[in-house]
Amino acid sequence: MLKRALWQGLVAGTAGGLVMTIGEKIEQAITGRTDSHVPARVLQRLTGMPEGLGRQLLPVNWAMHFGQAALLGVLRSMMAQAGMRGPVASAKFTVVRLANDQILENTTRIGAPPASWPRTELVVDLLHKTVYGFTTGAVADALAARNGPGPGQRHAAVHADHRSDVGPLPQS
């Protein structure tokens, strides 16, 4: 299960990152918002790279943007493999994606807590991360479904009314 979750998660997260990026580029064309270099600056701080400006930020930005998307996709794939699938699971995962960004941005002192952001920036970030979370979830769920129900789904099927007296499923 873990091997499947790894490769399927990398695929799902990359797909989510691509769809999010396309959405961002469309939104930027409409709103005139410029590219954010926060991902590049976070990666520079995390790795001890020299903190540069200009052209060298773009490849570092893409590395962080897509690297983070792909790696977090593994978590969503693990959720799907375990049986946590569908829109509710994707909504929960979206919160994880947002929290991951904020933890990295705030601990590296690159970003500020979202409560201090202009409302439009907050809405744009929430929109794009939601697109990522649900796209990643849809791909992870579809890939995991090829292997049948996950252990959580099998456990839930024992009693659809979620009674408290239902013990764990057998190990095998």
Q: Along the chain (172 residues), what's the average pLDDT of each consecutive run of 10 residues?
A: 92 98 96 91 92 79 95 96 94 97 95 91 95 98 85 64 62 66
Q: What is the pLDDT of residue 64?
A: 95
Q: What is the pLDDT of residue 154?
A: 63
Q: Are 45 and 51 in contact (CB under 8 A)?
A: yes
**CA 43 vs CA 52, 76, 96, 101, 156: distances in Å:** 11, 22, 19, 11, 41
Q: Are 58 and 78 in contact (CB under 8 A)?
A: no
d(CA 20, CA 24): 6
Q: What is the pLDDT of residue 116?
A: 93
Q: What is the pLDDT of residue 36?
A: 87
Q: What is the pLDDT of residue 51?
A: 84
Q: What is the pLDDT of residue 166?
A: 59
d(CA 16, CA 76): 11
pTM of the predicted model, to two decimals? 0.87
Which residues are CB-contacts of 151 (< 8 A; sequence separation ≥ 6)?
82, 83, 169
